[in-house]
């Protein structure tokens, strides 16, 4: 009996040690930590994540950036002291759309949640979409503001104003507009190996991109003319929302070239809750056009896009 007990204790001990080793070694890449990483381990974890995901994290340029990051953080005593070097490497791994965001920076962004507004100009419904980052509850409210405006107004023309939309979460933006956007594949994400993954819209819900809020939109309206307004300030998810209208009939783009952040990011949270937003996909729109931090072009150029649309 004692031999069986010793054997069971031994097996359990081996399992515990093995589990501890696996969690310590691989857990950080899934945001699981069994102990606080050293500053150098923190840097290593971040750089490995960049290498695994970054759209441009390969080749000589990346190898130099990685070496420079390790060298610059050798004597760092705190995680904060590594952030400048990591962000520099991040810009190489993912390009200009990639960035670090500390907890304090995240808090400042989330405190300033803005919601869409709407206004009728004769028979034209103008929808103003600001950038959005917020909770799931706030995302639902954002989407409902748009859907309610589309459901409750009698219009013959819609203007989707993205001129001041600097990005954030594409999910509620597109879901809120789902009444006037065709269901099906919105666009495809393409990684550095050429693999394709689709973002789709069905029954008022976006899958494969952003927060998947569910909107109960009424009957689809794909016949009403829609003008999509863009500017140099239209960025990231603002640009992606504009691309969601590509291929829709009776639709045109008015304004100026967009800000050229037409790629997709994945967010990795590091041990100190700093978010590492790394670009890992370029985009193909519904019509087959590829974007890799390229602008969305207007069909009609105008520095006064709203006035042009209302005319």
User: What pLDDT does 20 receive?
Assistant: 46
As a whole number, mean pLDDT of residues 143-161 equals 97
For each of the domains in the chain, give its residue range(s) and CATH number, in order of start: 2-108 (no CATH), 111-310 (3.90.226.10)
The 10s digit of each residue's pLDDT in 166-195 is 999 999 999 999 999 999 999 999 999 999
Q: What is the 3-state secondary structure (H, E, C) of the chain?
A: CHHHHHHHHHHHHHHHHHHHHHHHHHHHHHCCCCCCCCHHHHHHHHHHHHHHHCCCCCHHHHHHHHHHHHHHCCCCCCCHHHHHHHHHHHHHHHCCCCEEECHHHHHHHHHCCCCCEEEEECCEEEEECCCECCCHHHHHHHHHHHHHHHHHCCCCEEEEECCCCCCECHHHHHHHCHHHCCCEEEEEEECCCCCEEEEEEECCEEECCCCCCECCCCCCCCCCCEEEEECCCCCCHHHHHHHCCCCCCCEEEEECCCCCCCCEEEEEECCCCCEEEEEEEEEEECCCCEECCCCCCCCEECCCHHHHHHC
As a whole number, mean pLDDT of residues 282-305 equals 97
Answering whether pTM is above 0.85, one says: yes
Mean pLDDT of the chain: 90
Residues of the chain above pLDDT 90, percent: 82
Give 83's pLDDT tier (boundaries 50, 70, 90): very high
As a whole number, mean pLDDT of residues 194-204 equals 94
As a whole number, mean pLDDT of residues 182-211 equals 94
User: What pLDDT does 8 receive?
Assistant: 61
The 10s digit of each residue's pLDDT in 214-236 is 998 778 999 999 999 999 999 99
**For the chain, what is the largest distance between any 2 Cα atoms, rounded to a whole number of angstroms?**
91
User: What pLDDT does 21 receive?
Assistant: 45
């Amino acid at each position: 009996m004692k031999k069986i007990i010793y054997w069971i204790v031994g097996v359990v001990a081996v399992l515990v040690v093995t589990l501890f080793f696996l969690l310590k070694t691989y857990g950080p890449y899934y945001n699981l930590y069994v102990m606080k990483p050293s500053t150098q381990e923190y840097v290593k974890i971040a750089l490995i994540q960049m290498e695994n995901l970054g759209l441009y994290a390969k080749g000589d340029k990346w190898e130099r950036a990685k070496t420079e990051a390790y060298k610059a953080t050798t004597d760092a005593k705190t995680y904060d002291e590594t952030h400048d070097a990591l962000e520099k490497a991040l810009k190489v791994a993912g390009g200009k759309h990639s960035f670090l965001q500390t907890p304090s920076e995240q808090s400042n962004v989330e405190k300033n949640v803005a919601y869409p507004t709407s206004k009728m100009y004769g028979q034209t419904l103008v929808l103003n979409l600001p950038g959005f980052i917020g909770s799931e509850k706030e995302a639902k409210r954002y989407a409902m503001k748009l859907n309610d405006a589309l459901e409750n107004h009698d219009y013959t023309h819609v203007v989707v104003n993205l001129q001041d939309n600097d990005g954030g979460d594409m999910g509620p933006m597109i879901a809120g507009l789902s009444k006037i956007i065709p269901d099906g594949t919105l666009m495809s994400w393409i990684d550095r190996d050429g693999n394709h993954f689709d973002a789709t819209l069905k029954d008022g819900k976006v899958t494969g991109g952003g927060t998947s809020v569910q909107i109960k939109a009424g009957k689809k309206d794909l016949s009403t003319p829609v003008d999509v307004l863009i500017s140099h300030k239209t960025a990231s998810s603002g640009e992606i929302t504009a691309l969601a209208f590509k291929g829709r009939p009776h639709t045109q783009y008015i304004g100026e070239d967009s800000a050229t952040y037409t790629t997709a990011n994945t967010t990795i949270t590091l041990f100190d809750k700093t978010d590492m937003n790394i670009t890992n996909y370029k985009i193909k729109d519904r019509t087959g056009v590829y974007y890799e931090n390229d602008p969305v072009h207007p069909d009609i150029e105008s520095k006064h896009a709203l006035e042009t649309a209302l005319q």
